Chain A
Amino acid sequence: MTAQTLPTTRDSGADGRVPARLAAHGVRLAYDQRVIAERLDVEITPGSFTVIVGPNACGKSTLLRAMARLLKPAAGQILLDGKAIAQQSPKEVARKLGLLPQTSIAPDGIRVIDLVARGRHPHQSMLRQWSREDRAAVDSALELTGTDTLRNRFVDELSGGQRQRVWVAMLLAQESPTMLLDEPTTFLDIAHQYDLLKLFARLNAEGRTIVAVLHDLNQAARFADTIVMMRDGEVVATGAPADVVTADNVERVFGLPCTVITDPHSGTPMIVAR
């Protein structure tokens, strides 16, 4: 792998800004002939909690898929730590970048611990399948997600909230410093949604970079430090929640007339539909 330093990355280092952990440069996203986005530019700062929001079919999940290397951009490139992601080996990428997809399938009759252990694949080889590091990573992932007591249960028997925690545990076992989350709270009730988001906030506070696609603007504003607002394959606004979640932007992007008030608990913006 040749260390490819791109002018943009070098420049951003020179002017004192932190180089992006993950960046999309002039990316064109398309499924076959259907173009989702043209010349998209997004930068994810290391250690940030970035949430991508936007109406249905605005391309936010597609962007996340491209950043996770699941979709090859038709043009432009995705950089991970300054290097083109397409030129790094999949296992190398998987050690740096984890993904919680919208849907995953738990094999029939698998136990929690065996599923979580599968997250160790990027660190394993033909011979080395269950080292001390693997065991320690799985144990700590189970503990962090509060699924330690479920370790010998069958995944099929768990409730939706527990199951999502187990998938997060698998992602944690991967020990990637950056985590991409595609609508992680979609099928959960409100209490489980907050539980999970608080867990991500804690992981972020411990130094992980988090990029999530969320539907709920209030949750996005409360947990993110950066919000990327998209519409029709374009980034409409990027920045701190207070700057992005404004009545103007929400009406322009979602077509929803609203009032923005301040969340009494967190002091973050909160929208109320008119």
Chain B
Amino acid sequence: MSALDTRPPRMLEIERGPLTRRISLRGALAVILALTAALLVSILALSLGDFVISPGDVIATLFGMGTPKQTLVVVEWRLPRALLALMLGAALGAAGAIFQSMTRNPLGSPDIIGFDAGAYTGALIVITSGTFGYLTIALGAFGGGLVAALAVYLLAFRRGFQGFRLIIVGIAVGSMLASVTSWLILNSELRVSMMAASWGMGTLNGAGWDRIVPAVACLVPLGVLCAVMADRMHLLEMGDDTAAALGVRTGRVRALLLVAGVGFSAVVITLAGPIAFIALAAPQIARRVARSAGVTLSGAAAFGALLLATSDLIAQRLFAPTQLPVGLVTVVLGGGYLVWLLIHEARRRR
């Protein structure tokens, strides 16, 4: 640890009637910083495109003072996509924080516990059976993800719960599912395999207001659940016995956290397809910027929103007018991050 770290961190002690809290100033600033940056990136995403609108005009339009044409482009076409990027990014970040806290491992994420692999297999089974409807595929993905996550959880559960076993079993189940997916694609017609390949990369292309409503309806209750469970989640990190001795109902809290984590991942899979890396990286980036003890839900959500908004801007503009799926951008960024993380972890454990 550097000499800097021994300096006492500045804490904010809040006392407003019955509300009392103690929060780290740096942690609060990190969340505000990430949210501000995410907002700026989103305004940029709203202004860039075939029809460029200045950021100032974008803000005016958002407040209802734009021309009809600006309103059409900004509010009807671009805003739902930008909002969805922010919301799904936050959901992925929070899901990552939950799994990393539960497994006490920075490699814990919904991709690792087999959810994404299961969702992809579920979607493929629907596609290869000849159905191409968006909703049917989304439901197939949701079901596949749930079955895979449940299988991993049950296989990893042996007289109590161990984070590391969950990761190992998750990787094993994920590999098995990957071979099933390959087999499904190899045995399908060209049209089907094209469809499968495009679905395998999460994308926000074509996101409209019709996806915002279900996103808000699912994410708000899950967010409230997380806010209520956050403290108990941190107590569980100290081990089941310690948490239970402090009055935490460990089994119930863990089940609720799992519901929240799988719920967040399911919303993303259903509305955008599998988007890798955000859930893995956002909690760790937030932790390092905020210098917090372990991962935090608020930091992970804020940085998740920033990461996905930025990745989606890159996906839209890098080879414009060709639109990349955002999942492709996050996989490229995530590959680099994962290598760095593995090296860093290996050094630390030595």
In the complex the two chains form, is A152's CB within 8 Å of B6's CB?
yes
User: Which of B31-39, B182-190, B291-299, B312-320 binds A?
Assistant: B291-299
Chain A residues contacting B76 (CB-CB under 8 Å) are none
In the complex the two chains form, is A104's CB within 8 Å of B242's CB?
yes
Min CB–CB distance B179 → chain A (angstroms)? 35
> What size tier do the contact residues of chain A reach?
35 or more
Contact flags B114-149 to A (C-beta < 8 A → 1, else 0): 000000000000000000000000000000000000
Chain A residues contacting B244 (CB-CB under 8 Å) are 68-70, 90
Chain B residues contacting A91 (CB-CB under 8 Å) are 247
CA distance A261 to B26 in the complex (A): 59
Chain A residues contacting B246 (CB-CB under 8 Å) are 94, 118-119, 121-122, 174
- Number of B residues contacting the other chain (C-beta, 8 Å)? 36
Query: Is the CB of A101 closer than 8 A to any CB of chain B?
Result: yes
Chain B residues contacting A70 (CB-CB under 8 Å) are 240-241, 244-245
CA distance A42 to B58 in the complex (A): 73
- Nearest to B292 among chain A residues (CB) is A109
Contact flags A102-129 to B (C-beta < 8 A → 1, else 0): 1111111111001101110110101111
- Please pick, from B9, B20, B291, the residue contacting A131 in the complex, using a CB distance under 8 A: B20
CA distance A112 to B294 in the complex (A): 14
Chain B residues contacting A126 (CB-CB under 8 Å) are 228
CA distance A157 to B242 in the complex (A): 21
Query: Is the CB of B159 closer than 8 A to any CB of chain A?
Result: yes
- Nearest to B287 among chain A residues (CB) is A109
User: Which of B11-19, B80-88, B89-97, B168-176 binds A?
Assistant: B11-19
- Nearest to B242 among chain A residues (CB) is A104
- Nearest to B16 among chain A residues (CB) is A127
Chain A residues contacting B256 (CB-CB under 8 Å) are none
Query: Is the CB of A194 closer than 8 A to any CB of chain B?
Result: no
- Please pick, from A65, A97, A101, A129, the residue contacting B21 in the complex, using a CB distance under 8 A: A129
Residues of A57-90 contacting chain B, CB below 8 A: 65, 68-70, 89-90
CA distance A99 to B237 in the complex (A): 16
Chain A residues contacting B287 (CB-CB under 8 Å) are 109
Query: Is the CB of B239 closer than 8 A to any CB of chain A?
Result: yes
Chain B residues contacting A119 (CB-CB under 8 Å) are 246
Chain B residues contacting A114 (CB-CB under 8 Å) are 293
Query: Is the CB of A254 closer than 8 A to any CB of chain B?
Result: no
In the complex the two chains form, is B249's CB within 8 Å of A118's CB?
no
Contact flags A4-33 to B (C-beta < 8 A → 1, else 0): 000000000000000000000000000110
Query: Is the CB of B248 closer than 8 A to any CB of chain A?
Result: yes
- Nearest to A93 among chain B residues (CB) is B247
Query: Is the CB of A98 closer than 8 A to any CB of chain B?
Result: yes
Q: A94-B245, A130-B14, A154-B1 are in contact. Are A104 and B238 (CB under 8 A)?
A: yes
Chain B residues contacting A95 (CB-CB under 8 Å) are 247
CA distance A103 to B248 in the complex (A): 17
In the complex the two chains form, is A106's CB within 8 Å of B21's CB?
no
Query: Is the CB of A153 closer than 8 A to any CB of chain B?
Result: yes
Q: A70-B245, A130-B20 are in contact. Are A121 and B239 (CB under 8 A)?
A: no
Min CB–CB distance B182 → chain A (angstroms)? 37
Query: Is the CB of B104 closer than 8 A to any CB of chain A?
Result: yes
Min CB–CB distance A262 → chain B (angstroms)? 37
Query: Is the CB of B234 closer than 8 A to any CB of chain A?
Result: yes
In the complex the two chains form, is A101's CB within 8 Å of B248's CB?
no
In the complex the two chains form, is B5's CB within 8 Å of A154's CB?
yes
CA distance A110 to B291 in the complex (A): 9
Residues of B48-90 contacting chain A, CB below 8 A: none
In the complex the two chains form, is B21's CB within 8 Å of A130's CB?
yes
Most chain A C-beta atoms within 10 Å of own C-beta, residue among B228, B238, B239:
B238
- Nearest to A123 among chain B residues (CB) is B247
Chain A residues contacting B5 (CB-CB under 8 Å) are 154
In the complex the two chains form, is B245's CB within 8 Å of A105's CB?
no
- Please pick, from A101, A134, A151, the residue contacting B245 in the complex, using a CB distance under 8 A: A101
B interface residue numbers (CB < 8 A to A): 1, 5-9, 13-14, 18-22, 104, 159, 228, 231, 234-235, 237-242, 244-249, 287, 291-294
A interface residue numbers (CB < 8 A to B): 31-32, 65, 68-70, 89-95, 97-99, 101-111, 114-115, 117-119, 121-122, 124, 126-131, 134-135, 151-154, 157, 174
Can you name 17 extra interface pairs (CB under 8 A) apart from A105-B242, A107-B238? A32-B159, A65-B241, A70-B241, A70-B245, A90-B247, A97-B245, A98-B245, A101-B245, A108-B293, A109-B287, A109-B293, A111-B9, A118-B238, A127-B20, A129-B231, A152-B6, A152-B9
